[in-house]
């Protein structure tokens, strides 16, 4: 039985109904193929038979290989057909006795199953090798694209984050989404430290950014680093008498926006390089998965065929077509009799009239006219 309706156990592919209609008759013809019949000859050991060798030497097909000649004998005895409306193939064999016919049918069936499995494995192994060669080429292209992207980012001090957003654009987005802290005036008199006001402003920014950004976001890391620097300055002391005005953050947004606009062309180029890398990565992943599937199929024992019951010897032999034999004999005898009569007539001519003497070049001495009756 051909497993044309069952999905492939590895890839999950299913043969379409239109393809199945052509697939089943094709398999019926492949049963008579030399690859299958050659396996039958090898499994039976016919190539080592002296009697068969003598028959081959006495035949008129000396130009054909001995194994192929034996395979032709097997092919002539095979009767394979599909049961209408099903995916079942029936394999029969014609032989001199029922036991031999049943044995040969089983051998042909097993050889067909083995050849189907070997063919699927060989095709899968060839495909796997092709995919692996393509994987090497894609891997080299991917490595080159990643190196080009990394070199460009280092040369232009650009880092693309998730969703192809650069760090400066992410910082601008975070600053734009924050509520600007009110400006504060810190007096330098009384020995106070003006850095304390800066620390308060930075803490406010960190608190606002933490509500929408992750702990490892570059904006938060930059704010923490800025706070650490200001805190170090505050610990160093050194208060001044002049008041310090802490702005509300508008200057930071403007500076970030200017930097983003200045690097827009470079960021777009970095995005293009990242797109090339993403395409190659996706292509590599799909090709690697396909190569793994084909390697697994090359080692699979699934032939796509389910063997049913063994062949059963027929209860009665096929009787000869008596009517056909009788009619054929009559026709052959009639034709042969006419041919023999013509040959005898040509070899042993009889004189029936003057014209026969002319054809034989014999002179006519006289002729007796036919009597006339009145």
- What does the pLDDT read at residue 42? 92
- What does the pLDDT read at residue 191? 45
39: nearest Cα among 104, 112, 94, 90: 112
Give me the count of residues in the chain.
374
Q: What is the crossing angle of helices 264-298 and 98-156, to 10°?
A: 160
- What does the pLDDT read at residue 107? 92
- What does the pLDDT read at residue 243? 45
SS3 of 98-129: the string is HHHHHHHHHHHHHHHHHHHHHHHHHHHHHHHH
Structural element, H or E, at residue 280: helix 264-298
Cα 224 to Cα 217: distance, rounded to the nearest angstrom: 11
174 vs 185: which has the higher pLDDT: 174
> Residues 6 or more apart from 185 whose CB is under 8 A from it?
197, 243, 244, 245, 246
Structure tokens at 163: 């969703």
- What does the pLDDT read at residue 20? 62
What's the chain's average pLDDT?
76
* Count of alpha carbons within 13 angstroms of residue 214, beta-carbon side: 6
Least confident of 277-281, 286-290, 365-369: 365-369
Indicate the pLDDT class of residue 282, thresholds 50, 70 and 90.
very high
Angle CA 19–25–27, to nearest 5: 95
R_g over Cα of the chain: 48
Task: Provide the whole-model pTM.
Answer: 0.54
Indicate the pLDDT class of residue 81, thresholds 50, 70 and 90.
confident
Instruction: Please say if the pLDDT value at position 5 is more than 70.
Output: no
- What does the pLDDT read at residue 143? 92
Letter string b/e over residues 231-241, b meaning 16 or more CB atoms within 10 A of that residue's CB: eeebeeeebee
Instruction: Please say if the pLDDT value at position 182 is more than 50.
Output: no
Report the percent of the chain where pLDDT is more than 70: 69
Structure tokens at 208: 């606002």
Give the pLDDT mean for 78-82.
86
- What does the pLDDT read at residue 111? 92
Residue 294 burial by CB count (10 A; 0-12/13-18/19+): exposed, middle or buried? buried
Instruction: Give just the sign of the alpha carbon dihedral 343, 349, 350, 351.
Output: positive
Give the pLDDT mean for 356-360.
71
Cα 275 to Cα 285: distance, rounded to the nearest angstrom: 15
- What does the pLDDT read at residue 160? 64
Residue-wise pLDDT tens digits, 319-354: 666 788 888 899 999 999 999 988 887 777 666 677
30: nearest Cα among 85, 84, 91, 86: 91
Cα 153 to Cα 65: distance, rounded to the nearest angstrom: 69
Residue-wise pLDDT tens digits, 13-50: 655 556 566 777 788 888 889 999 999 999 999 999 99
Give the DSSP letter string of 219-237. HHHHHHHHHHHHHHHHHT-
Instruction: Please say if the pLDDT value at position 257 is more than 80.
Output: no
């Amino acid at each position: 039985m051909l497993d044309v309706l069952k999905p492939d156990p590895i890839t999950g592919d299913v043969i379409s109904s239109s393809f199945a209609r052509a697939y089943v008759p094709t398999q019926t013809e492949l049963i008579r193929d030399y690859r299958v019949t050659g396996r039958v000859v090898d499994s039976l050991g016919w190539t080592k038979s002296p009697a068969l060798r003598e028959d081959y030497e006495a035949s008129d097909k000396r130009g054909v290989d001995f194994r192929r000649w034996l395979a032709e004998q097997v092919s002539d005895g095979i009767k394979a057909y599909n049961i209408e409306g099903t995916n079942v193939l029936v394999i029969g064999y014609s032989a001199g006795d029922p036991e031999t016919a049943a044995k040969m049918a089983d051998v042909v069936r097993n050889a067909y199953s083995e050849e189907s499995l070997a063919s699927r494995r060989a095709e899968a192994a060839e495909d796997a090798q092709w995919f692996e060669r393509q994987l090497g080429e894609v891997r080299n292209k991917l490595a080159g694209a990643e190196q080009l992207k990394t070199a460009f980012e280092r040369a232009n001090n650009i880092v693309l984050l998730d969703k192809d957003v650069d760090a400066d654009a992410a910082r601008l987005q975070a600053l734009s989404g924050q509520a600007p802290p009110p400006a504060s005036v810190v007096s330098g008199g009384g020995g106070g430290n003006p850095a304390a006001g800066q620390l308060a402003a930075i803490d406010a920014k960190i608190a606002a950014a933490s509500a929408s950004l992750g702990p490892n976001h570059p904006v938060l890391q930059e704010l923490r680093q800025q706070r650490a620097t200001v805190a170090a300055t505050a610990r160093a002391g050194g208060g001044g008498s002049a008041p310090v005005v802490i702005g509300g953050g508008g200057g930071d947004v403007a500076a970030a926006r200017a930097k983003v606009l200045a690097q827009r062309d470079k960021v777009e180029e970095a995005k293009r390089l990242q797109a090339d890398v993403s395409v190659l990565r996706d292509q590599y992943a799909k090709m690697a998965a396909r190569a793994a599937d084909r390697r697994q199929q090359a080692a699979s024992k699934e032939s796509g065929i389910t063997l049913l019951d063994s062949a059963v010897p027929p209860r009665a032999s096929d009787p000869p077509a008596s009517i056909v034999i009788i009619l054929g004999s009559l026709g052959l005898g009639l034709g042969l009799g006419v041919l023999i009569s013509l040959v005898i007539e040509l070899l042993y001519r009889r004189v029936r009239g003057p014209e026969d003497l002319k054809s034989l070049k014999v002179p006519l001495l006289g002729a007796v006219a036919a009597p006339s009756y009145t």
